[in-house]
Amino acid sequence: MSQDTTDNRSAPSESIKQERINKAVWNACDTFRGTVDPSIYKDYVLTMLFVKYLSDVWQDHYDEYAREHGDAPELIEALMQNERFVLPPAANFYALYEARHEPGNGERTDKALHAIEEANTGKLADVFQDISFNSTKLGDEKQKNEILKALLEDFAADDLNLRPSRVGKLDIIGNAYEYLIKQFAASSGKKAGEFYTPPEVSELIAELVAPQENDEICDPACGSASLLLKCANQIRHAFEGSKRFALYGQEAIGSTWALAKMNMFLHGIDNHKIEWGDTLRNPKLLDGEGKLKHFDVVVANPPFSLEKWGHEAASSDPYSRFRRGVPPKTKGDYAFILHMIETLKPSGAGKQGGRMGVVVPHGVLFRGSSEGKIRKELIDEGLLDAVIGLPEKLFYGTGIPAAILVFRKDRRDDKVLFIDASREFVAGKNQNQLSDANVAKVVRTYSDRETVDKYSYLATLEEIQENDYNLNIPRYVDTFEEEEEIDLMAVQAERKEIEAEMAKLNQQMDGYLKELGYGV
């Protein structure tokens, strides 16, 4: 797959701060607040941001070509066909904005989205099929028309002029999109986990698996693709902006899959393949022979303990993902783990094997029965490299602490590193966060693979076997803090001083009461 990004063809005419763009797009949500639930209106705001971005880039480039070739309209039209995308005139944001006072804002917007898909089938096919601006979710026809009129006016504001000649770097738009997704996650309760992983957790996983140039990277439960984008950024930063990598993902929820596609587009990444479908029941990332495709890096934050994950068909799985055992009917954690393991590239012949990082609830570390058998198989095969405990209240929609499991096909030793990072975080009112220093400490400890008092422990296979393959972190990392010894003689002396002082005060009080005429 190849990648091309929109050029910044002229320097920004003014300095635009990321915070200003973020604030403007978040304020656009005021149109919906109190009328439509955030879990519904997030799709409308994010889609409108996408359309506005396409329109501003298109117009910016058109104006530049017009300045250069004003007397050759046919040449300008030909040049515009070589853009990263095609924008039909009726699908332009400004065409929708000009008609905002007329009835039918919802229908016009839907037609515009359909036209954008039709004109860009290679990159944007079906991206908008799960969203309709003409839906009754926005109220009756009159209310819907007024809401969409206000939304168009919000995005027409000067602060949301997203032309490259104004905002400069493309990342500003992609970052604004990520900012919106994060804000929606914070207000979406349990549903937040369906589409968003906190950025610092994504950053930690990306640094642990250390993507390299030419790597093929996959997230089989990709949500809005923030974790994949963190992996891409790792390569870009480490290899001077390199575009030599490919991203793959699959997402079961249609509207979230659309977020992932738009997120990739807004970050300027075209070398990706994001599929829509249930990874466990119907994996779509296959090779030319219809087998599961193998990847250099596999990362995921799958849904915790998914109840209906496809247990009924697992024993006859055509991809042999569950040959180590079939996970419990009502807990799909190991189903995702086994799928990911099966998609790792093998090591050997001078090639680095696949690396994998996955977020799991703590029950995965110690639950017995079929999960215990699967865990034993994975450990005995020498695939598990590290177990990292995270703080509580990191993830949107759940307060429980989680862990990261790191698996590798190119293990350096037969030991397993345990890290207890559960007590190192920045406390927030409703949500805790990992600081840059917290992330750096975990990555450094993982790289060093050394025992650090009360923080990490490098366990042998024999030690894990002695613990019956239980991976509960406190069994390996002793975080017990001895209480300071109490000097009983000093306490006794202090107690006598206090008693003497109390006796003196009682005597004084008796004197005061006598002076006031009260009998004692």
Q: Is residue 122's pLDDT more than 80?
A: yes
Superfamily holding 193-475: Vaccinia Virus protein VP39 (3.40.50.150)
- 347-367 average pLDDT score: 89
pLDDT band at 8 (very low <50, low <70, confident <90, very high): very low
The candidate with the shortest Cα–Cα distance to 55, out of 133, 134, 130, 112, is 112
Q: What are φ and ψ of residue 467, in 5° steps?
A: -90, 20
Query: CA separation (Å) from 288 to 217, 285, 293, 296, 488?
Result: 18, 10, 9, 17, 76
Look at phi and psi of residue 293 and say left if phi exceeds 0, alpha if psi is from -120 to 50, else beta.
beta
- 451-475 average pLDDT score: 96
DSSP, res 195: T
Q: What is the pTM of this model?
A: 0.84
> Do 45 and 29 form a contact (C-beta atoms < 8 A)?
yes
Count the Cβ atoms, other than its own, within 10 Å of residue 285.
Answer: 20
Q: How many residues does the chain have?
A: 520
Calculate the average pLDDT of the chain: 89
> What is the pLDDT, as a whole number, of residue 354?
95
> Do 468 and 461 form a contact (C-beta atoms < 8 A)?
no
One-letter amino acid for residue 243 of the chain: K
> Do 113 and 51 form a contact (C-beta atoms < 8 A)?
yes
Q: Is residue 502's pLDDT more than 90?
A: no
18-187: CATH number: 1.20.1260.30
Start-to-end CA span in the chain (Å): 96
In the chain, what percentage of residues exceed pLDDT 70? 93
> Do 194 and 256 form a contact (C-beta atoms < 8 A)?
yes
Count the Cβ atoms, other than its own, within 10 Å of residue 306.
Answer: 18
> What is the pLDDT, as a whole number, of residue 520?
54
- 169-192 average pLDDT score: 75
Q: Is residue 314's pLDDT more than 60?
A: yes
Q: What whole-number distance in Å separates Cα of residue 507 and Cα of residue 14?
A: 78
Select the highest-mean-pLDDT range: 389-403, 406-420, 487-501. 406-420
> What is the pLDDT, as a whole number, of residue 349?
58
Q: Tens digit of pLDDT for each residue in 416-441? A: 999 999 999 998 877 899 999 999 99
Following CA atoms 127, 129, 130, 135 in sequence, which dihedral angle do they give, to the nearest 10 degrees?
Answer: 130
Q: Is residue 484's pLDDT more than 90?
A: no
Query: CA separation (Å) from 18 to 43, 171, 284, 382?
Result: 21, 9, 36, 45
Q: Tens digit of pLDDT for each residue in 192-223? A: 555 678 899 999 999 999 999 999 999 999 99
Domain positions in the chain: 18-187, 193-475, 486-520
Q: Is residue 82's pLDDT more than 50?
A: yes
Q: What whole-number distance in Å separates Cα of residue 331 and Cα of residue 364?
A: 10
- 122-144 average pLDDT score: 92
The candidate with the shortest Cα–Cα distance to 134, out of 44, 28, 51, is 44
Helices (H), 297-350: 311-314, 333-342
- 102-126 average pLDDT score: 95
The candidate with the shortest Cα–Cα distance to 23, out of 144, 168, 158, 133, is 158
The candidate with the shortest Cα–Cα distance to 346, out of 300, 295, 298, is 295
In the chain, what percentage of residues exceed pLDDT 90? 65
> What is the pLDDT, as a whole number, of residue 190?
56
Tokens of 175: 């970052």
> What is the pLDDT, as a whole number, of residue 172?
78
Q: Which helix (H) or strand (E) segment is 94 a member of?
A: helix 93-98
Q: Which helix (H) or strand (E) segment is 488 a member of?
A: helix 488-515
Q: What whole-number distance in Å separates Cα of residue 125 and Cα of residue 45?
A: 20
Q: Is residue 1's pLDDT more than 50?
A: no
Q: What whole-number distance in Å separates Cα of residue 475 and Cα of residue 464?
A: 9
> What is the pLDDT, as a whole number, of residue 194?
58
Query: CA separation (Å) from 6 to 119, 246, 269, 423?
Result: 17, 18, 10, 43
Collapsing DSSP to helix, strand or coil, 418 comes out as strand
